[in-house]
Chains A and B, each alone.
Chain A
Amino acid sequence: MKNRLVFIIFLFCFLLGLLGYTHEARAQDSNLPRRAQISVGMLLSPELRFQRGVDQEIESQTIYNWGLAIRYAEIFSAVLEFAQSSEKSGNGSSSLELKQKEWLAWGRWHFRGVNIDHTKLSIFGGIGAGTYDREVKTTLLGDTRTDKSGLQRVAGLTLGGDLVFGEQYKILVGIEGRSLFSTDFDPNPTFSLMVRTGIFYRF
């Protein structure tokens, strides 16, 4: 419960700070109309995560991330992500199913960019923090029980590049490599490769 409270406060402060930052930056750039520099969008991002599997090898697992993003002047972006994964092992008499739900907030600085007409290529780095919970469904000879872990913390670093096409409505494709840190991840950090796809609307 304490962890959950700390996380909610953290997330609230993060979003508040982000809002403040965008307002502040917008005020400094008088060349563009204020609203024109902000885009919001939705992301669907398949992720290949390299973690220890049931046979003890580090293997890739495909996870689908859903995200809401806000981009400011192609300089700064923030993403709120949700991802869900599951893994099954065992046989018809004894089996285990692990489900993981993950929420992460990312702040990303697009430190290099090139504009060609209505296309912008940028390279970014960022950090993120969030939480996840795990649920294990254990079945033995027809009897089942479910156990939950409660919320655990996770942090991450990311580096990648993306291409944004369009002016008012934008399409985004990108690729990024990430490392996620959590004491219960194996290995820790866990690395992943993600392909970003999304659509944005510029105000």
Chain B
Amino acid sequence: MKYVFSRFIAAILVLGILPACGPQFESTEQSGSTRVVSPWLTSQGEYSLQTIELRGLYDLKTLSGQFARFVFGPKVVDGKLQGHSPKGRFIKNSQNEYVPVDDLTQQMVVLYAHMQKFAELDEELGAGGVNTWPRDIGIAVRMKGGVKNNAFYDGKTDSMLFVPYTWDHLPISINGGILAHEHFHSLFYKLVIKGSLEEVIDRSSVHEREDIVLNDDELEISEKALTKSFFGKRVLTNPEVVHKYHLETLTSGLNEGLADFWGWVYSGDPDFIAMSIPIEKGERSLNLRAGDIYPNLPSQKKMTNRIESFMRYGEPDYMKSYLKGPAYSLGTQISRFLKGFTEIRIREREVSATQARKDVAKQIVSLLPQLKEKLLLSSSDKYFRPIDFVVLFAQQTSNLLEAECNFIASVLNNSEEFDGKQPYKCMQATSWELSFEDSNSDEK
């Protein structure tokens, strides 16, 4: 009887402890399809906390699965993101839903969910197979100069990179529009830039890749040295060099403009960038400025003049930075053109806004390979101009309606290329088609 109670205590304690030391709780073991609570876009393009389903998860704790692989504070090794997988933390609520307990976990959940959605959207828009899955995503990325409050797509590592967000607005990693924007860069990189065009312009987007990942060895390269050598040889306005910078600016501008349009297609919000980066509202809104009826595409001459000015009077080291302004400015006009066209399509064809946005996005996917060809064929004798993109878009659009054709013609005629002339008209053949009527030019 002497030791009965002490044995009794020991037995109870062991029984109590064993379950706690037993198999892992569900929140670390869960895989496959999982319901999580996350910020998500409503059908009205607003954000709310919703229950969404993550599919194809290998491990909920690291949020790794068929659609995304996360790397925390990555470095680049052999062209791939390297680093440890961040560990997510959840609780499981009474409805068996997993709820992130910190913002990093929430960020991973939202990103995974959007990647899952992008995979579906790619298939639907004819871009299935362009990207490989799971997508690599770097979070808490460190950049030279401590750059914050931005996201990037890096073509060389085929990854999406997020630097810390320190403002009080909607975090970029939650902003579906910006995520779609970055996702589009991956399509544009693979369908347009990668390969031969990349050799010409040596960049994947207007974002300067060499600043992105703090990889200690890779960043010594070359654009800076190249620019210096151009200047060293005093080839300040060499037509080939000017064309190279024009092509770079145009490609970047189209990339950014189409990516902004993609953000609108996905989110339905023309000011999706301003949700996270309010200072961009004026320049990057897809809505036309007050007083504008049509977007105002810059002329090739205006673009080359600016490039030549940068080369003559600017610092060679800052050439890339100088080109950002014209590129983003062109991009905004392109995205406004596409939004305007889509809105006419909604009105004229009586289709839903979602369907019309997807229809136009599908057209863009199908014209990207041709855009690449046209960009590669351009030269200092035959530039590919901003209006040429619009003409290519019109040619790619089958069965144009009169209002759609008139809108395209108006955008072209409103561009700086024609200085108030109205050379483009619409004519009805089997459907409505653009017609160029200026005997002083070789436009077709």
A residues sitting closer than 8 Å to B (CB atoms) are 10, 13-14, 17-18, 20-21, 24, 52, 54-56, 87, 89-96, 98, 107, 127, 129, 134-136, 138, 140-141, 143, 145, 147-150, 152-155, 181-184, 186
Contact = CB atoms under 8 A, between A and B. Distances in A.
Interface of B: 2, 5-6, 8-9, 12-13, 15-17, 19-25, 27-28, 37, 39, 47-49, 72, 86-87, 89, 91-94, 97, 99-104, 106, 140, 165-171, 174
Contact of B165 (A91, A107, A152): A91
A93 B169 contact: yes
A150 B49 contact: no
B171 to A, nearest CB: 6
A138 B37 contact: yes
Name the residue among A94, A98, A153 with the largest chain B CB count within 10 angstroms.
A94
Nearest to B91: A149
Nearest to B92: A149
Nearest to A126: B13
Given A56-B104, A96-B103, A140-B49, A20 B87 contact: no
A147 B37 contact: yes
B102 A129 contact: no
Contacts, number: 140
Contacts of B17: 127, 129, 155, 181
A54 B87 contact: no
A91 B102 CA distance: 11
B99 A136 contact: yes
A145 B93 CA distance: 12
Contact of A153 (B19, B86, B100): B19
Contacts of A152: 25
A183 B2 CA distance: 36
A143 B9 contact: no
Nearest to B46: A141
Contacts of B168: 91-93
A150 B104 contact: no
Contacts of B166: 91
Given A136-B99, A136-B100, A141-B48, 18 more contacts: A14-B9, A17-B12, A89-B103, A91-B171, A92-B168, A93-B171, A96-B101, A96-B103, A127-B13, A140-B47, A141-B170, A145-B49, A148-B94, A153-B20, A155-B16, A181-B17, A182-B20, A183-B20
Contacts of B174: 94, 140
B408 to A, nearest CB: 37
A147 B23 CA distance: 24
A173 to B, nearest CB: 27
B47 A107 contact: no
Nearest to B165: A91
22 contacts: A10-B12, A14-B16, A17-B9, A17-B12, A55-B104, A56-B72, A56-B86, A96-B102, A127-B13, A129-B17, A134-B91, A138-B99, A141-B170, A143-B49, A147-B91, A147-B97, A148-B94, A153-B20, A154-B20, A155-B17, A181-B21, A186-B87
